[in-house]
């Protein structure tokens, strides 16, 4: 079932006190005019011009730089693997503990 705005406004205006057939016709003409305006705006007339702020241009450049970087830095991974395999990699126990405590405190507040 399709709802037609013309029928609805006509039916409503019939039941309004003091409405005349002339007023009803004016309402219908306005609806037709509004529909024509809508049809014209749906058609692309020309390309839109967009001016970006400096901050948005910088954000776009940063996004492009980040997306061009690899997800895994193979050079760092291979260096850490070598240090672990050779036994020269030392864990900073106090640094790890400090970060765990800081993370726990951040969760509390």
Predicted model pTM: 0.34
Span 14-27, average pLDDT:
58
Average pLDDT across the chain, whole number: 76
What does the pLDDT read at residue 52? 73
Q: What are phi and psi of 61, to 5 degrees?
A: -65, -40
pLDDT at 13 over 60: no
What does the pLDDT read at residue 15? 52
- Domains of the chain, residue spans: 5-42, 54-108
Task: Return the half-sphere exposure (C-beta side, CA atoms, 13 A cut-off) of residue 37.
Answer: 6
pLDDT at 20 over 60: no
pLDDT at 68 over 80: yes
How much of the chain exceeds pLDDT 90, in percent?
Answer: 36
pLDDT at 16 over 70: no
What does the pLDDT read at residue 70? 86
Choose the most confident range, by mean pLDDT, from 5-9, 31-35, 52-56, 88-92: 88-92
Burial string for 61-90 (b: 16+ CB within 10 Å, else e) reads eeeeeeeeeeeeeeeeeeeeeeeeeeeeee
CB 35 within 8 A of CB 13: no
């Amino acid at each position: 079932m399709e709802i037609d705005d013309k029928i609805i406004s006509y039916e409503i205006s019939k039941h309004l006190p003091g409405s005349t057939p002339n007023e009803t016709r004016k309402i219908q003409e306005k609806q037709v005019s509004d529909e024509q305006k809508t049809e014209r705006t749906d058609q692309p007339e020309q390309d839109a011009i967009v001016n970006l702020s400096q901050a948005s241009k910088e954000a776009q450049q940063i996004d492009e730089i980040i997306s061009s970087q690899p997800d895994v830095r193979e050079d760092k991974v291979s260096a850490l693997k070598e240090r672990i395999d050779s036994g020269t990699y030392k864990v900073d126990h106090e640094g790890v503990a400090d970060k765990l405590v800081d993370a726990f405190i951040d969760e509390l507040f």
